[in-house]
Structure 1
Amino acid sequence: MAIRIDEPLYMELVLTAEERMTVPTQLCYEPHDPFAVCLDFHVGTDLSAPWFVARDLLAEGLYRPTGHGDVRVWPTGSGPDAELNLALSSPHGTARLIAPLPVVAQLLRRAYQMVPAGRETERLDLDAELSRLLHGIT
Structure 2
Amino acid sequence: MIEQLSFATGHYSRSWEISSAHLPADEFEFLQVCTWCRSPSGYFECFELSSNNAVGCKLYSTPWLKNIAAGGSYCSAEEVTARLHADHVPPVLLRLLLLAGEADTRLLIFDPDATQLSELPMFVED
The structure in which a higher percent of residues are helix is 2
Of the two, which has the highest radius of gyration? 1
TM-score (norm 2): 0.31
Which structure's relative contact order is higher, taking Cα pairs within 8 Å and 6+ residues apart?
2
Q: What is the TM-score with the length of structure 1 in the denominator?
A: 0.29
